Chain A
């Protein structure tokens, strides 16, 4: 299967700081990537759809000024959590769309805001 990487795998930061998470498709080009958030023992919650070269589309209730998404190339999308607060602590997962049938997920980034 196709490979998607995320960096960092885990990050701890102080409240008020910003954190950037990278998502890369390693062996295919992805014009569309997605960012999800997952709470313990819960399913995936889609935050936004990231399209290469254009603005991201955010789901209802997701603050676009807080969760900045950039998809500058066909293999890289970034999510920046700005002015992070403890309630932003979560497991963030990206996926990259290979074709209509398939999305491949990254390994996830665990964010802890102190």
Chain B
């Protein structure tokens, strides 16, 4: 079993829809949770990060962490074609150097 599981998709939704992206994990020591967006042939771009449980909102993006269920989510409201990309979840343990990544979900927003 991988430490972090993420459905690779592909996920295709119409413009304006609410998108839900999710990751599950097995290591209960993870405390830092991040979402990265990666366009084709580009480096990942940090979208959101949260510490421990709870919600965080930034514009159209909301990140949720449920440590009791070992489940994190990224919601995108009013999705736009420019949101089409691969979304990677990542997490780390307190004091750790490395991030553990999910496989990434390929998302396409259709005009």
B99 contact set on A, CB distance < 8 A: 103
**Does any Cβ of A come within 8 Å of B60's Cβ?**
no
Contact B101 A43, beta carbon cutoff 8 Å: yes
Could you count the A-B residue pairs with CB atoms below 8 Å apart for me: how many are there?
Answer: 55
The answer to whether B41 touches A103 (Cβ under 8 A) is no
Indicate if the CB atoms of B98 and A107 lie closer than 8 Å: no
Contact A97 B97 (CB under 8 A): yes
CB <8 Å contact, A105 and B43:
yes
Q: Given A32-B97, A101-B49, A105-B36, is A43 in contact with B41 using a C-beta cutoff of 8 Å?
A: no
Instruction: Name which of B32, B44, B46, B95 has the most chain A CB atoms within 10 A of its CB.
Output: B44
Contact status A108-B42, CB under 8 Å: yes
The answer to whether A61 has its CB under 8 Å from any CB of chain B is no
Q: Which residue of A lies closest to B42 (CB)?
A: A107
| Interface residue? A67 (CB, 8 A) | no
CB-CB contacts of A86-114 with B at 8 A, as 1s and 0s? 00000101010100111111111010000
Q: Judging by beta carbons under 8 Å apart, are B51 and A44 in contact?
A: no
Complex Cα distance A110/B42, Å?
10
23 contacts across the A-B interface (CB closer than 8 A): A1-B46, A6-B43, A32-B97, A41-B106, A44-B44, A44-B88, A44-B101, A46-B98, A49-B97, A49-B98, A91-B41, A93-B43, A93-B44, A97-B97, A100-B92, A101-B32, A101-B34, A102-B49, A103-B99, A104-B46, A105-B43, A107-B43, A108-B43
